[in-house]
Structure formats: structure tokens, C-alpha cells
Amino acid sequence: MNTFSINRRKFLQGATASLALASFGAGAMGLANPSKTYRVALIGSGWYGKSDLFRLIQVADVEVVAICDVDKNILNAAAKLVSERQKSRNMPRLYSDYRKLLAEHKLDIVIIGSPDHWHALQAIDAMKAGANVYVQKPISVDVIEGEAMVAAARKYKKVVQVGTQRKSTPHLIDAKKNIVDAGLLGKISHVEMCCYYHMRANGNPPPEPVPDYFDYEMWTGPAPLRPYDGLPHIRWWRTFMEYGNGITGDMCVHMFDTVRWMLGLRWPKSISSVGGIYVQKEGKSNISDTQTAVFEYDGLNCVWQHRTWGTPANPDYPWSFTLYGDKGTLWGSTMACDFIPQAKEGTRIHKDVIYEREKYPEDLTEERIELNAAPATRLHMIDFLNAIEKGARPVADIEEGHISTASCILANLSMQLGRPLAYDPAARTVKNDPEATRLLARAYRGPWVHPDPLKV
């Protein structure tokens, strides 16, 4: 998710944007039962949870019946916004414990916008309660959590869409179809992915009393309980491995997932990574500020690099992927894509992000919205709903989200252990590495119990 300025590209407005989106399926992706009103709940009503929910409200007849958050201020503010946005104007019921929410409502859809360390338990519990799930990436903080989520989706026959919406990004759909699949790149034998955003929080706030409107115990849940040093919302929690998987888990997962989709890749045969805290050593943060990872396939390496300091290699593509073929190169990001042919007589191709600011003027007043991602998320929600109606798997099915997430987690484990890792998804083990296998499931803080893929 790109939180940085998006003023580099020209807006495509009104009918032009609508026609462009229609060419990617939005105009032809009508729901199988458009008269159905979906009963929806949101767990985690902060920035991106609300953003996902508002995109769903824009494309479907839904009734948001309940919202859960452990911060009463955020919860009340979200409820007010939802009542203003949804067609019925009803105020959703409010909860601080998601388990009570699930017990008291029969739901069609649950959107999970909580921090990463909560994704697995909340998604599995929502599926057990009978709901289809839209869950943000990364889907888990350890590999076995992800295996349990896939197992639950299959056991309970629920549709689970992961918020890797690059698969629903119009200019990237176009690039896959008309550049990659059309063979303009030729044989692709190398991929590079990167993120050079200065997005690593690096402060040293002192411990302080927990405010009465915030349930820090419940926010922490199965994760280790750190001394409370301020509200963890937005960026602060992401700077600790206790709650997520660092920049690799946050940003690489998007680009690696996009590359796998474009090239039809599944599990890497080997994953290796090096890095650490090389520059930004003054703060509490324990996520790497510099890291390189290699996801190895037969005849192809996908290489990730992030730095939270310095300048990007290509200022136009600071968070991106690059596909190198023997006939040309494709640069891609949330903002644009560029095809550069190898032959001098070849034709360059450039595509820009599509905006829908005239069709959805409410986007322009939404706090912290990613305008470049909103059209993609709307298409992602339409795909999710169609999968529910048809009993099919969505474009970002939980299994695909698991492969991308787990691969990034394994990269972090490789960096920690100092050796390459080869994961066997059938056995749910790291091949010939008992120590790494033990690290596939992180310890949970009681009374929370780690999900078991054999017992969900």
C-alpha cells in the first residue's frame, strides 16, 4: 500500500476512466444476484479497514451491521462515517471483542483490517461463523497460520479474497495481457522487485499509561505484550516484528504476488535473504532497514531489495517490479508501467494508473485515501462478490495470498538463520532443516491458541 504522494501522473477523468475500466471487466462483471443485500461486518476500523469497506459500499448493495475495534474513538468515528455512506443510513452495532460480534450476527462478509498478527485467528473464526472473508495482506505472521487459513477456507467452503489488489489494477492487467502474455518480453529469466520508501518508524517514545479508550491487552492478543509507548495505529506497530513481517512482509508481498500472477509462478524452490539494521540504529524498531531476498525458480530468480534510507535506483519506480526478457524489459508499479523493447526499431509502451475521481467524488474527501489504489480495490471487491455468487475462487484467493505471504516470511527466516530455505507445502516443513521447521509457527501468548491446519 503506497502512502506517498501520487501527483506525478495525470488524472484520467470521467467517461474516459469508466471506459478504460470497462475494458478490464468492471463493466461486464455484474453480480449474479444484484438484488441481494450482503450483511457485512468490519473487524479493525482504522485507516485501511475503512478504506476497503468504503470501496465495497461503492460497488454493491450491502448493509454494514457491525464494526469491531479496540479503540473506542476510532470505532465511534468509523460508525458515523459508515452510517453516512451506506444506503440505509443505519448505524452499525459496535464491539470491542470480535468474538462477540461473530456470535451475535449472521454475516455474508467479514472484512478484516486489523494488524497482521490478528489476521489468521479472525479470518478463521469468521469462516467458522459462516462468513466469506476479505483479509488484508500479509495474511499471516507465520507460515503455519497461513496453512490453517487455507485449510479453513476449503473445509468451510468460503470465499477468501486477499487484499493484493495489483491483480485488479487496470494498467497492470493490460500489461499482463498485451505485453507479458503476448510474448513481447520473450524469455523472461530475471526479475527485480524493490521498495525504497522511507517508511520505517524509528522513534524512541517512553512508556506511558494506556488511555481508557484503548484496550491494549485485546489489541496485542496472541502477540508478545510490549510496554505501552503510545497508540500503535498506522505506522508504529509495523516497525516491530512482534506484529508483522517488516518491509518484506508489508511491501514485497505485493510485488512478488504480482510477479507470480503475471508469470504463472507457484512456490519458489528455494528462498534466501540477507540484511539487517545497517543504518537506522537509533530507534526501537527491530525490522530490517536493508534487505535483499532471492526467490529461486528453475531458470529464473526473483530478487527483492528494500532500503528505508537513501535514494531509489529509479526515481520513477521507487516501489516496483521489473521483468527482464531477451526481447525487452517491463517496469511496473501501482502508478504506471513501461515496456522497453530490446530492438531499436521496437515500440515503447507506457500505461498510467487510472483514477475515477469524477465517478466517485466522495473519494476526494476521504481521509488518507490512496486514490491510485481505489479503482483497483473496487474491481477487487467486484471480483470477490462474483466469486461468492458463483461459488468460485477469486483472483486473489487465499492460497495465492498464502504462497506470497509465506515466501516473504521464509525470506525473513532465511535472513535470521543465515542459510537458504526450501519449503515443502505438502509436508508443511522446511526440507532437511528441523530448526527452520520449528520456526514456521510462532509462539502465541495465552490464552490464545495457535491455529492448526489439521484441526481448524
Give the residue extent of every domain in the chain.
17-165+374-397, 168-201+229-369+401-438
Residue-level pLDDT at 397: 98
Residue-level pLDDT at 220: 98
pTM above 0.75, yes or no: yes
> Which residue from 312, 270, 190, 289 is spatially nearest to 436, judged by alpha carbons?
270
Considering the domain delimited by 17-165+374-397, tell me its CATH architecture.
3-Layer(aba) Sandwich (3.40)
- DSSP lists the bridge partners of residue 321 as 193, 332
Residue-level pLDDT at 21: 54
Residue-level pLDDT at 345: 85
Residue 27 amino acid letter: G
Question: Which grid coordinates are listed for 416?
Answer: 535470521
Residue-level pLDDT at 36: 86
Helices assigned H by DSSP within 159-220: 170-175, 216-220
Mean of the per-residue pLDDT values of the chain: 93
> To 10 degrees, the CA torsion angle through 79, 5, 231, 440?
100
Residue-level pLDDT at 35: 56
Q: What's the DSSP call for residue 132?
A: E
Helices assigned H by DSSP within 60-118: 72-85, 98-104
Tens digit of pLDDT for each residue in 424-439?
A: 999 999 999 999 999 9
The CATH number of domain 168-201+229-369+401-438, selected from 3.40.50.300, 3.30.360.10, 3.30.70.100, 3.40.50.720:
3.30.360.10
Query: Is residue 280 helix, strand or coil?
Result: coil
What is the distance between the alpha carbons of residues 78 and 100, in angstroms, rounded to a whole number?
19
Residue 407: phi and psi, rounded to 5, are -65, -40
Q: Which positions of the chain have pLDDT values less than 50? A: 1-20, 22-28, 32
